[in-house]
Amino acid sequence: MMYDRILKIISKEAFDKIQKLNILIVGVGGVGGYALEALVRSGVLNITIIDKDKIDESNLNRQIISLNCNINKSKVEEAKNRALNINNNANINAIEIFLTKENLNDTLNGNKYDYIIDACDNVTAKVELIYYAIKNNINIITCLGTGNRFNPEELKITTLDKTYNDPLGKVMRKLLKERGIKNKIVVAWSKELPVKTSERTPGSLIFVPASAGLLIASYIIRKEINK
């Protein structure tokens, strides 16, 4: 059986709960792609993925779904195909859309996810996802900056108010305060200072984004096992 090794270390009851989880991943690039990979391999069956991007040659250095053979193809469709090749019993809902404040509610359509993984790089969408999660009493894990960093050992999961050395975290705190959101927001972040460059687009090696995706997936699985 595919999951024999998992059932050696967790109970059948806990594994049944993992399989029944309903998880939304927004962004299936460097972080979200590895989170998806880990969740499917851990037994999660019901996953919705949202991403508008096509696979680009520049993704080959760090994104698990990216290959020379699928350049210019839809990220969500390629991610879905990969997930189903791992477990063809999985229910993967692929939505190819750029999530915005204007279309978020219609896109999510009031779905009661158990967890939302925010692995997108749009600040406005991140704030709206947090607002949606709070309003619908959904667990959300927001990933902060992983670009311009080298060391995966500096990654942590805490709440947003405890972050530092992260410019995105600083912006998020400001925007959430303006929206009147005072909740403790769970985030994956790195305490490593990002390398300063003159480029607007951040640089990236595989180590930090991939490890962030795995860390987020691990957080969810461990939380369910420990319930």
Judge contact between 34 and 119, C-beta under 8 A: no
Q: Is residue 138 scored above 90 in pLDDT?
A: yes
Read off the pLDDT of each residue in 157-162 and give the average, rounded to a whole number.
Answer: 98
Give the whole-angstrom CA distance, residue 159 versus residue 147.
20
- Here the tokens at position 87 are 């477990």
Q: Is residue 222 scored above 90 in pLDDT?
A: yes
- Here the tokens at position 93 are 């809902």
Q: Is residue 12 scored above 90 in pLDDT?
A: yes
pLDDT of residue 216: 98
Give the whole-angstrom CA distance, residue 183 versus residue 165.
21
Read off the pLDDT of each residue in 202-212 and give the average, rounded to a whole number.
Answer: 97
Domain boundaries in the chain?
A: 4-225
pLDDT of residue 63: 98
pLDDT of residue 48: 98
Give the predicted TM-score (pTM) of the model: 0.97
Give 217's pLDDT tier (boundaries 50, 70, 90): very high
pLDDT of residue 170: 97
CATH superfamily of 4-225: NAD(P)-binding Rossmann-like Domain (3.40.50.720)
pLDDT tens digits, 78-129: 999 999 999 999 999 999 999 999 999 999 987 889 999 999 999 999 999 9
